[in-house]
Chains A and B, each alone.
Chain A
Amino acid sequence: MAMRPVLSVVGLRRQYGKTVAVDNVSFQVAAGEVVGLLGPNGAGKTTTISMILGVLASSGGTIRIGGTDIVAERSRALARANFAAVYAPLPGNLTVAQNLHVFGLLYGVRALSQRIDAVLKQFDLQALRHVRCGVLSSGEQTRAGLAKALLTRPQVLLLDEPTASLDPATAHDIRVKIRAYAESGAAGVLWTSHNMYEVEEVCDRVLFLSHGRILLEGDPKTLPRKHGKTTLEDLFMAVVREPLTLGGGSSCM
């Protein structure tokens, strides 16, 4: 399944003073693949995503998006990525359509009006088109953020807990849409979530981060059994409570 990498992270490191938040992390995401980035709070997931998005400078390592280095050719690399995260809602003082228009121009989306119509329909936001994002419910804001993320048809889609504030039915619907987007072969998706059932349903591969290092990597359906656990959630608990018994703390490619 995994073909050309759309995201390549090599030896990524981030240090705050003496604290190492991300330590020699390496992985790739291929086109058509959904990769889960898992780990307890503070493991380094959001720090890793922030570095991929270029809003946090790394202390070492390289990041390539669609083969383009994020440091050397920042604009070109970021034009191929997009993200949605609960901690980065769209500006609340603009309407959904206005926000999509502004971000569409920032990313240079062609035939923008038609594309805005398409994502509004895709995320069931047509009725909220002229509503300011600040007055949307948290679930609606999440959908608006996802519409912004997919507006640009990114090669690399970064989703930080994208279904955290959605009801189960909407969350399922979103998972299906993201999965379909990845399967169209257009993009690789890096997905963080604390919902292990969701991860099992959506992800082709998972990376377990603990204390800034990749501890385990593999297929979410088979990985638990390989480590003597019944479910992915059991494995997650083990990563949190007894990380030293699970891996050598080495990076994975």
Chain B
Amino acid sequence: MHVTRVAAVVLRHFYLLRGSLTRVVPLFVWAAVDIVLWGFITRYLNAVAGAKLDFVPALLGAVLLWDFCGRVMQGVTTAFFEDVWSRNFLNLFATPLSLTEYLVGLVVSSTVTSAVALVVMLALATGIFGLSFFAYGLTIVPFLLMLFLFGVALGILGSGMVLRLGPAAEWFVWPIPALVSPFVGVFYPLSTLPPWMQHLARLLPPSYVFEGLRRIIAGEAAPASLLVTGAALAVAYVVLACWVFRRVYHHAARSGLLVRYSAENVS
């Protein structure tokens, strides 16, 4: 893998961000709105529930972590969409750039943009609503890592979907986090779900993060098996997503879709 080629992909997105307020503002505005909204909801719930349960780490912390996962996914897909929107595939894929280098470039771009969102969310949640990441202990690090990897996997899968189905399919990608959230127990324990949803939840890494989070808030330690399973699943999803993207790319090159991408279909 050539670092300069990865840097080229990242540099392109840096140039785009640097010159465009319309790209910079959405990096943190929607995440900030979410934190403010859920911050007031948790404050209200704390007032109603009394001292029995602190909703700030349980609910606001979970919202923050889930938003982070969503921002990572959108960071990858948005960087990919920039090449869709500017019809850049021909220029890009006729260079020595390998698919791995391209995907790594998208992930690095997303790491930077999602870090901006995380910092803004943390500043608001801590400064206004008193959330502290220290409440979760060091376990927050593997939690963030798992969500990051799952966000990367969703982003690559979403990009693959758009590469396969054409530019209009981007509208399938935006709601993916909302579609996944009921299954992963962001707001409630998995035991709340009907059995078939629980089976699906066990296949999704964020389920292990949010179950672990609730254990910590209840004063227990997050079991190592929970962390290991969640991390292994997250890595597996990234590998699966890269495999799917590679298959889709080769299909696009075989069918001629890559050189006639704006047609959306070559049949």
Chain A interface (Cβ < 8 Å from any Cβ of B): 16, 50, 53-57, 74-76, 78-79, 81, 83, 85, 87-94, 98, 101-103, 105-108, 148
Contact = CB atoms under 8 A, between A and B. Distances in A.
A56 B256 contact: yes
B259 A50 contact: yes
B102 to A, nearest CB: 10
B91 A103 contact: yes
B4 interface: yes
Nearest to A91: B86
B89 interface: yes
Nearest to A132: B19
Given A55-B259, A102-B15, A78 B96 contact: yes
B240 to A, nearest CB: 23
A105 B256 contact: no
Contact of B88 (A56, A76, A91): A91
Contact of A16 (B11, B82, B94, B266): B266
A148 to B, nearest CB: 8
A79 B94 CA distance: 9
Nearest to B1: A75
Given A55-B90, A102-B8, A105-B7, A94 B15 contact: yes
Interface centre among B4, B93, B95, B259, by most chain A C-beta atoms within 10 angstroms, is B95
A54 B258 CA distance: 10
B253 interface: yes
A105 B101 CA distance: 12
Contact of A79 (B87, B89, B96, B256): B96
Contact of A106 (B82, B89, B96, B256): B96
Interface of B: 2, 4-5, 7-8, 11-12, 15-16, 20, 82, 86-98, 250, 253-254, 256, 258-259, 266
A54 B39 CA distance: 51
Contacts of A57: 250, 253-254
22 contacts: A55-B89, A55-B90, A55-B94, A55-B253, A56-B259, A57-B254, A81-B94, A85-B90, A87-B90, A88-B87, A90-B91, A92-B86, A93-B16, A93-B20, A93-B86, A98-B15, A102-B8, A102-B15, A105-B4, A106-B5, A106-B96, A107-B96
Nearest to B15: A98
B163 to A, nearest CB: 13
Contacts of B266: 16
Interface centre among B86, B98, B258, B266, by most chain A C-beta atoms within 10 angstroms, is B86
A227 B4 CA distance: 52
A106 B254 contact: no
Contacts of A101: 11
Contact of B16 (A75, A83, A94, A103): A94
A78 B16 contact: no
Contacts of A98: 12, 15
Contacts of B98: 74-75
Nearest to B85: A93
A102 B30 CA distance: 30
Contacts of B5: 105-106, 108
